[in-house]
Structure formats: C-alpha cells, structure tokens
Structure 1
Amino acid sequence: MTGDPDLDRRKASLRAKLKARRAEAAQANDGANGAAIATLAADRFMAAIPVAVGQIVSGYWPMDDELDPRPLLMQLQRKGAMIVLPAVQQGTRLLQFRLCDDLADLPPAGAYGIPAPAATATALVPDILLVPLVGFDREGFRLGMGGGYYDATLQGLRAVVDKKILAVGYAFAVQQVAELPHAAHDERLDWAVTERGAVRFASERQS
C-alpha cells in the first residue's frame, strides 16, 4: 500500500485486469506458465543481455501464471552464472538471495509459502535480478503484487552496493501497458524481456 488511497485503487484495478491477461497468455501457450513462450523469452534474454561467467543472477520460482524463468536460469547456469533465488526475510520488506544449485527440484516452502532455498544456503548479492511482475509500462515502471518487496530491496541494494545492479522484468508481452500509476518509492526496471524481445529503459542509472 502506498498511503495514497486513490493511487492504491488505481493500482488494484489494473492489477486485477493484468493478472487476468497474464493468465490467458499462460493458458494459451502450452498450459500453465506457457512452456513454449518461456523458452522463447529465454532466447530473447540471451541475445540481448550479456552475462559473464561467475556473475550472480537472481531468478524466482514461478507462482500461478508467472512466466517461468527456469529455462533461462538453466541456460545461464550452464554458461557459468551463479543462480540465486529470493527469500522473504520475516519482519522486513527485504529479500535475501540464496544460492540454488539444482533448479530441477522444487525448493522447500519459505515465507508465505513461496519456494526458496533453505536458510543454510549461501546468501549472495546479485548482479542481475529477474523480477516477476503483473504489468510494466514503456518507462520501465512495474506493477507487482502490492507487497513492495522488490521495490524496497532494489532501493536498498542500489543505495549501498558498490556495483551496478540490473533489474530485468520478465513477463508475457501482453503484460505491457502504455503507462502505470506509480509512487515516488517505486523502483524502475532497467530492462524488460518478453517472448517478443528485450527492451532497455532509459534512466539516470544508465548514464
């Protein structure tokens, strides 16, 4: 919640519409999570965004109708990237990123039932974050589920970590809209990747 009732209502209305759009896209492409589209999106990412051996890439375990990033994460892992998955830290809005060596096995359920590596897994700071979303716009603003976890985490990392951190929205193309309502604390994406291609957004961080 943003503290602005009008903005919250507008976001909630768009969220419902875009979740329905996302569900339709997933079901229209080989069932849940759109397997064929996920493979195509992985190819789009690989063609557009360079990832070096040893770089740390944060993925996510797909929930509901989110675009499945595992085909991409497996490709990156084979090329020498280190893959981490986010875990909610109880009592905060900050995510911790834990090493995931085996993307074939479902991790245990963490906070709020979201699969995440165990607390004993190595925690790392990612170079690239694949960010799940409900919608995104042409300026790089993102609409999530409303919890604010990625916004808070990105804001914290970008403020204190001494390296460039890329936030890459990963979604079906139908999840893009012309413009999203946003608050001052909403963090912008650096890229968005869909089955139709990759788009880089202009921002002060890229100058």
Structure 2
Amino acid sequence: MKGSNLHSAKLLKQNLRKKLKQTLQGLGEEEKARQSRAVFRKLLNFPVYCMSKRISTFVSMRNEIDTKPIIEHIFTSGKECFVPCFDSGNNRMEMVRLRDMEDFFNMQETCWGIKQPCNPDGRENCFNSDGLDLIIVPGVAFTVDGKRLGHGKGYYDNYLARYFAKFSHRPHTIGIAFAEQIVSDLPVESHDHVLEKVLFPN
C-alpha cells in the first residue's frame, strides 16, 4: 500500500472507531443483552465451535458481546478455555489457560479496564503446549466476509502472525459482534488478518 493510501486507510480507521464508539455507547443494556444472547445461540450451533476442544475467547468489556456465557459453556462442555493476557511493556499478548469459573471471577482488572488472570506466568500458555483450535476475536467493526477493525494496538494481528509462524496448523478464527458493528467494507492493510466467520444478530 502506497504512502498516501496508507495514510487514508489509517485516517478512515480512526474515524470509524470514533463513530462506532458513539454508536455502541448509545445501545441500551437490554438491547446489548438481547444481542449477546442471539450471538451465543448462534455460536452453540456453529460446527467449528462444537468440534473445537481448545478455545480462546476475549473477556468482554461493557460495549462488547457478553462472553461470560461462552466461557461458562466452554467449561460445562468439557472444553479448555484460554483468555488473553496483555503485557503493555512490549505490546504483546499471550493466551493463557483459565481453570474454572472461580478463576474467571478472581481475575484482576488492568489499567485499561480489561480483566485478565492472576499469575499468568504460572499458567499454561498455548504457545508452549498444543496451540488452539478456535480463537474468538473482538473488534470495533467487522464485515460479513471477515474483515476486522480492531482498537488500533495490533495485539490480535501480531498474535496471529506469531502463531502462524510457530504452528503448522491454523486455528479457526471468528468474530462476534453487535449488529451495529457490521459495516459494508473496511480498509485492509498488509498486516490485517481476515477472519473465517463473523457471528452477529440478523
């Protein structure tokens, strides 16, 4: 991508983030809960999720699809749950194993307001074991064909690049979103990973 086009793409992404942030802040709690339930039902019927054993999902914040029911279902169905741990010092993210729901409720909040497990160094890191079958990815905006706009830090794109360099098998990647987060198109840069599927309420 040429310099002028790259600048235009970055500017468009910044504007979209601002616009979507305002839109999501305007969604009522009942509506967010309704859409979260709809996405959860879709996920339970999604064959890739059903077949996956080792699953990574983000821990949702206020203006994201609620992932607590997903995490609960991962445990009750005998699957293994991995969640992100962020190291702001080196702009790096790792996926570490969550043991159970008690472990979930004991997570600590980072300076960004994101909850993550205590003592990440003492946990199974999927990079040092058998990898992942499925990664459920957050985002600010998505297209129906899997393009994704993140929060601008590049954590997931960098993580997926590292993962693909280490493992021969690729995990499935899906985004989950409110209907308001679905847009007709998004600018894609060379480092952006396109997701296999995006689940959202119709």
Q: TM-score range by the shorter chain?
A: 0.7 to 0.9
Identity %: 25
Q: Check the 8 A contact 2:144/2:197 in 1, yes or no.
A: no
Q: SS at the partner of 2:45?
A: helix
Match in the other structure for 2:172: 166
User: What amino acid sits opposite 1:79 in the alignment?
Assistant: S
User: What amino acid sits opposite 1:82 in the alignment?
Assistant: E
Which has the larger helix fraction? 2
- Distance in structure 2 (CA, Å) of the matches to 1:65 and 1:90: 22
Does 1:107 find its partner at 2:113? no
Q: Check the 8 A contact 2:143/2:182 in 1, yes or no.
A: yes
- Distance in structure 1 (CA, Å) of the matches to 2:99 and 2:11: 40
- Distance in structure 2 (CA, Å) of the matches to 1:183 and 1:130: 21
- TM-score normalized with structure 1 length: 0.82
> Structure 2 matches for 1:121-132, cutoff 5 A?
121-124=123-126, 125-132=131-138
- Once the two structures are superposed, residues 134-185 of structure 1 have per-residue CA deviations (whole angstroms, 9 ceiling, x without a partner) of 1011331100110000011112212321222111111112211110112111
Q: SS at the partner of 1:177?
A: coil
- Distance in structure 1 (CA, Å) of the matches to 2:189 and 2:176: 21
- Residue 40 of structure 1 deviates from its aligned partner by 1.9
Match in the other structure for 1:49: 47
Q: SS at the partner of 1:50?
A: helix
Q: SS at the partner of 2:123?
A: coil
Q: SS at the partner of 1:192?
A: strand
User: What amino acid sits opposite 1:81 in the alignment?
Assistant: K
Q: SS at the partner of 2:71?
A: helix
Residue 63 of structure 1: which of 57, 61, 64 is its match?
Answer: 61
Does 1:76 find its partner at 2:74? yes
Q: SS at the partner of 2:95?
A: strand
CA-based RMSD: 2.2
Q: Check the 8 A contact 2:43/2:49 in 1, yes or no.
A: no
Q: SS at the partner of 1:5?
A: helix
Match in the other structure for 1:39: 37
Match in the other structure for 1:10: 12
Residues 111, 98 of structure 1: CA spacing in aligned structure 2 closer, same or farther, 3 A cutoff? farther
Does 1:22 find its partner at 2:24? yes
Q: Could you list the runs of 5+ residues in structure 2 that have no partner in the other structure?
A: none
- Distance in structure 2 (CA, Å) of the matches to 1:44 and 1:107: 27
Match in the other structure for 2:117: 117
- Distance in structure 1 (CA, Å) of the matches to 2:135 and 2:26: 25
Say how many residue pairs are matched: 190
Q: Check the 8 A contact 1:39/1:72 in 2, yes or no.
A: no
Residues 54, 173 of structure 1: CA spacing in aligned structure 2 closer, same or farther, 3 A cutoff? closer
- Residue 64 of structure 1 deviates from its aligned partner by 3.0
Q: Could you list the runs of 5+ residues in structure 1 that have no partner in the other structure?
A: 197-207
Q: Check the 8 A contact 1:135/1:143 in 2, yes or no.
A: yes
- Distance in structure 1 (CA, Å) of the matches to 2:50 and 2:169: 14
User: What amino acid sits opposite 1:13 in the alignment?
Assistant: N
Match in the other structure for 2:196: 190
Q: Check the 8 A contact 1:67/1:170 in 2, yes or no.
A: yes
